[in-house]
Amino acid sequence: MADPRRVVWLLGGVVALTTIPSIIAYWTHSLLVAKIMFWIFIPAIYFYIGPCFGLLNNLSPCHMRSMFIAVSLLVANVFNLIGRA
């Protein structure tokens, strides 16, 4: 994964595949099928966090890596708080 574009394609592919269990979970009338689909869907939606931070660390200059991560976490938390309001 030396090319950053490959990481982005991997993230996009996983997010696209993750939508399938969510669609099945919301369309089914079976509680068991919904539980199984949510057990697949919920951990998979957090897959992007590790590769995104790795990509951010690889693309930022060495002396600014901690600031890039801090700002991205701050923005993510602010958007999370806005979404819950």
Q: What does the alpha-carbon distance between residue 64 and residue 66 come to, in Å, rounded to a whole number?
A: 6
**Tens digits of per-residue pLDDT, 30-42?**
999 999 999 999 8
Q: Token digits for 12?
A: 């996009």
Question: What are the start-end ranges of the H helices in the chain?
Answer: 4-27, 31-44, 49-59, 65-84
**Tens digits of per-residue pLDDT, 18-32?**
999 999 999 999 999
- pTM for the whole structure: 0.62
Instruction: Give the percent of the chain with pLDDT over 90.
Output: 42
Residue 1 pLDDT class (50, 70, 90 cuts):
low
Residue 78 pLDDT class (50, 70, 90 cuts):
very high
* Structural contact between residues 16 and 71, judged by C-beta atoms closer than 8 angstroms: no
